[in-house]
Amino acid sequence: MKILVTGGCGFIGSNFIQYLLTDKEIGEEVMILNIDKMTYAGKGRNIEHMNLSQNKNYEFIEGDITNMELVNYIIAKNKPDIIFNFAAESHVDRSIENSNAFEQSNFLGACNIFKAALNNKIKKIIQISTDEVYGSINQGNFSEESFLNPSSPYSSSKAAAEIMALSYFKTHNLPVIITRSANNYGPYQFPEKILPLFITNLIEGKKVPLMWSEENPGLNVRDWLNVKDNCRAIWFISKNGENGNIYNIPGENEKTNYEITKIILRYLGFGEEMIEKVPHRKAHDFRYSILGHKLKKLGFTYIHKNLEEEIEKVIEWYKNNPDWWRPLKI
């Protein structure tokens, strides 16, 4: 099977490539073409450990999906059986500071993928999205039928790409499926996200910047999904899902940011004196929560369910791999 992965040097994309090339669950030989712009969050070192330069089943092209001519050329030349579009700018704080890159990569880049896939009669496209497109919910859960209510330029750009994808399905019968995953965590995550930032700060003896106010003392809730289970779910959906459908991938592990912080502090032997209380970001969503009934109905099961145990494994990974993350924090 010939697979095109966009953004394969990023956090989720690189974990996905590793899963495809090494996990026995795949059950078939795959040929992977990875196109990545190599932004600050990729830099190639996410997949160096796989020694892919000599792997006959892997090819890398440095390129930007906002370049329509390049995207169309790559897809026309290689004719992949399936495209997984991971390529995206993903850090909310950066999108608030300047949304240009998010608009370009997350929306226009995705549109280029859809156009080129249509032009070249690609059999299936998986558009990777996020639970953040739903916005915040104080009680209950969002399902795939819930209205979209994104709060940040990041989540808005992802929602826009979804709407365009579904319009291509309805208008042109483009064989696209959308996945909306919860808050991913795992190895090789750039140290601007809460888990790797807090872990590496504490390893360096620095405080952790927890968003805090009297009304909301670190109580924002996120649903935590192990990146390996996300990769498994995305592949499973590509094999079993229906075109034109959306599938939530929850983590089924909701915790407040304060609770997550205490898990990290406790494991590394620190107390709450290492918490630096910082103001909340603009339009800070209080709680993300999605249901995964459609995914479970397809027959998917999770492997990495014990959140505290999995976080401890992640902490150990960052402790043992300072050469990977230290240069990224300069």
Given a cut of 80, is residue 41 above it in pLDDT?
Answer: no
Which residues, other chains included, contact 182 with Cβ-Cβ below 8 Å and sequence gap of 6+? 131, 222, 223, 224, 225, 249, 250, 251, 288, 290
Given a cut of 80, is residue 233 above it in pLDDT?
Answer: yes
What number does CATH give the domain 194-221+254-285+305-329?
3.90.25.10
131 is catalytic: yes
Given a cut of 90, is residue 42 above it in pLDDT?
Answer: no
Give 176-202 pLDDT, tens digit per residue.
Answer: 999 999 999 999 999 999 999 999 999
What residues pair up with 255 in beta bridges, in sequence order? 222
Given a cut of 80, is residue 44 above it in pLDDT?
Answer: no
Give 48-70 pLDDT, tens digit per residue.
Answer: 888 888 899 999 999 999 999 99
Look at residue 205 in the predicted model and tell me its pLDDT: 98
Look at residue 192 in the predicted model and tell me its pLDDT: 93
Q: How far apart, in whole angstroms, are the C-alpha atoms of residue 123 and residue 82?
A: 6
Indicate where the chain has its CATH 3.90.25.10 domain(s). 194-221+254-285+305-329
Indicate where the chain has its CATH 3.40.50.720 domain(s). 2-185+225-249
CA–CA–CA angle 319, 330, 277 (5° rounding): 75
Selected catalytic residue, list 58, 134, 154, 288: 154
Give 77-106 pLDDT, tens digit per residue.
Answer: 999 999 999 999 988 989 999 999 999 999
Selected catalytic residue, list 131, 254, 285, 310: 131
CA distances from 281 to 152, 200, 219, 272, 286 (A): 10, 21, 14, 21, 11
Nearest to 274 by CA among 194, 210, 208: 208
Query: pLDDT averaged over the chain?
Result: 96
pTM for the model stands at 0.96
Chain centre distance of CA 58? 21
Look at residue 27 in the predicted model and tell me its pLDDT: 87
Given a cut of 70, is residue 127 above it in pLDDT?
Answer: yes
Give 132-155 pLDDT, tens digit per residue.
Answer: 999 999 999 999 999 999 999 999
Which residues, other chains included, contact 140 with Cβ-Cβ below 8 Å and sequence gap of 6+? 289
Look at residue 78 in the predicted model and tell me its pLDDT: 97
Look at residue 143 in the predicted model and tell me its pLDDT: 98
E strands within 137-251? 176-181, 183-185, 208-211, 221-226, 246-249
Selected catalytic residue, list 64, 89, 132, 310: 132
What number does CATH give the domain 2-185+225-249?
3.40.50.720
223 is catalytic: no
